[in-house]
Structure 1
Amino acid sequence: MTILQNQPMPVIIDTDGGVDDALALIMALNSPQLDLKAITVLAGNIHVDQAANNVLRVLSIVAPNTLPIVAKGCEKPLVKSPFNAAGIHGADGLGELDQFKAADGTASYPQLTIEPSTENAIDVILSAAKEYGDHLNIIALGPLTNLATAIQKDAATMKQIGRIIIMGGAVTVPGNITAAAEFNFFVDPHAAQIVMESGIPLTLVGLDVAMKAPLTRQVVEENLQRRPTKVTQFIADCTGIYMAFYRDHEGFHGCYLHDPLAMAVAIDPSLVTTESLYMVVETEGRFSTGLSLADRRDRRDDKSHPPNVEACLDVDTKRFLKLFDKLVCS
């Protein structure tokens, strides 16, 4: 199989269907650099069935010419009990869209007429890995349960892919769900550690850079006024509860663009500065479960523990926000 230079890059997006996932999906669907082959879904922000519904909602709003496969995968973490973020993303994981009504009283977001594939997400991932090999990039926006399960099922096939771009972890900054851990790694630390040990090229887009990419409520509302479309209306609606959480807990009326930044790194890796590091994820810690521990010592041993991730440690925020605006709001 040959993929010509300058052709769009085949990608799979693995997502847990939250608000920033939706923004990242819109970016991907509007990006000429990406050829979105499939969207695989898992539990994380919300239950897997609702997460799949949220992905289909985004597809119905953006209405791309070709619908990618949407396939459901893991319903719970490998070992830990399920843990969700409904309190941050809304009960439906997408800002509680059923609250919005049109002028005539009908639902702004009516029942969907499209359904997910009957294929299993793990099979979809492995099939794409076989078909596209090292041309395939996977952009992981949620916990890594689907990808770890695919590695456990067929590690040799997964090692053929080009790269996994992971929204997760934190190298130099605190966690966001606990003092130690970022949410995705906290939800399924065992899966994250399996991916770290996989030998697949990994780029980590963690809190080090995600917290440098803010989107204010004012910008969202200005975009809606300036360019009133189905997409800008949806963004204003789905981000309401999410942004109110940050307003109430961090004094910032807006949100951080965690997942859109991971998508941007897939589109344009030059947006970030990375460091090659050896990383492990704590699975058993009493206080530190989900901690992404990177060896940054001067005397680290690259022979026995060679770097296994490219960790993003800085981002050109201005260029990123320009790309985000271009792909999401224009």
Structure 2
Amino acid sequence: MSAVRPIPVILDVDTGVDDALALLLAVRSPSLDVRGVTCVAGNTGLEPVVANTLRVLDVAGAPPDLPVAAGARRPLLDPRLHTPQTAEHVHGADGLADLGLTDSSRALDPRPAVELLRDLLLGSDVPITLVPLAPMTNIALLLRSYPEVRPKIEQIVLMGGAVNGGNVTAAAEFNVFVDPEAAAIVFGAGVPLTMYGLDVFYSVRVAEADAADMAASDVSSARLAGQLLRYRMAGRDSAEIGDAGAVAAVIAPEGLLTEALPVRVELDGQYTRGCTVVDRRAASDRDWDPHRDHPAAVVDVALGVDAARYAKLFVDTVSRPA
């Protein structure tokens, strides 16, 4: 019997704490073949995102030639109309829990993120899964600038959106809120898409005792993961792995309960801009919708998760010796 080929993936990140956890899981997983990483402003500005990403890849033991590229530093709209939103209050002043990690000597790929994405996709012998864990500006620019890449995208598994309320506003989740126009382009691109949103984001948690064991580990990836999780606990008895759950969904999709549902991204509402409007009505109710002539994109929306399975997958994978 031939060995199962690892799943080729590209991660698009705005590396704060949970993006770091996702990078650690992706690089350390034998089930994934990380082809590249692209960076976008989000949790913090683009320059610290790039620096944090390179530092985490060092700790994870990523190959030194893994291409990493810098991308968009602002949303698609003119920032005078929509001031970029960051989240240092969640991720620390440096975006990475203020741990003081050593600067990386990795060289950044000279290509802009969108060009690296294009080249990796078109140059691959098999379709690649995209895993956006950040505002979707890079991915939207890719899909609009180079539509010829779409057949080379196996699927998009993204962390973003929500069925039942947001975190930045009552309606909107951070990654979609920061660049709703980009999210609307990605959701409507016609590429198979799974929305790993807030409805499952907080469910996959690591207990304090496990995080403490990881923080004391001789394995560098486990040690960093434990430190980051303990930072996120802030006195609680557990912490969510956040974005890393979307990576776990690529590795073990059977642990995720999804339903194919129409989704629209709200672009105009004063209080609902960035909301992912997930339509769970019966088909008969949709028939007389005044917007029926402009159908919503149908995507796989995560509604439930085997939290214990994903938490164990995370801990076991990042704790594997290099």
Per the TM superposition, whether the score is higher than 0.5 is yes
Residue 251 of structure 2: which of 242, 267, 270 is its match? 267
SS in structure 1 of the partner of residue 114 of structure 2: helix
Q: How far apart are 1:131 and its partner, in Å?
A: 2.3
**What SS class does the counterpart of residue 242 from structure 1 fall into?**
helix
Q: Match for residue 95 of structure 2?
A: 93
1:322 correspondence with 2:312: yes
Tell which deviates more after alignment, 110-119 or 28-37.
110-119
Equivalent-residue separation in structure 1 for 2:318 and 2:181 (angstroms): 34
Q: For residues 39-64 of structure 1, what are the alpha-carbon distances to aligned partners after superposition, in whole Å with 9 as ceiling and x for unaligned?
A: 00000001111111111101111223
> Is the 1:16–1:43 Cα contact (8 Å) retained in structure 2?
yes
Are residues 5 and 194 of structure 1, via their aligned partners in 2, closer, same or farther at CA, if it must alter by over 3 Å?
A: farther
Within the alignment, does 1:202 sit opposite 2:158 as a pair? no
Give the one of 16, 19, 22 matched to 1:18.
Answer: 16
Question: 1:175 pairs with 166, 172, 194, which one?
Answer: 166
Matched, 1:190 2:181: yes
Q: Distance in 1 between matches of 2:5 and 2:152?
A: 20
Which residue pairs with 1:236 in the alignment? 226
5+ residue gaps in structure 2?
A: none
Residue matched to 1:279: 263
How far apart in 1 are the matches of 2:47 and 2:187?
A: 27
Which residue in the other structure is 1:111 paired with?
A: 103
In the comparison of the two structures, how many residue pairs are matched?
309
Instruction: Report if aligned partners of 2:75, 2:179 keep a CA contact under 8 Å in 1.
Output: yes
- Percent identical among aligned pairs is 35
1:215 paired to 2:206: yes
Change (3 A) 1:119 1:240: same
Counterpart contact for 2:13–2:40, Cα < 8 Å: yes
Structure 1's unaligned 5+ residue stretches are 99-108
Show CA shifts across 1:119-147 (max 9, x none).
Answer: 11000111122123762100011010100
> Which TM-score applies when normalising by structure 1?
0.87
- Is the contact between residue 185 and residue 290 of structure 1 (CA under 8 Å) also seen in structure 2? yes
CA offsets 1:239-258 (integer angstroms, 9 cap, x no match): 454332xx5xxxx4543222
TM-score for the superposition, normalised by structure 2:
0.90
Match among 144, 147, 164 for residue 139 of structure 2: 147
- Deviation track 1:153-183 (CA, whole Å, cap 9, x = no partner) reads 1223235411110100101x22111110111
Where does residue 28 of structure 1 map in the other structure? 26
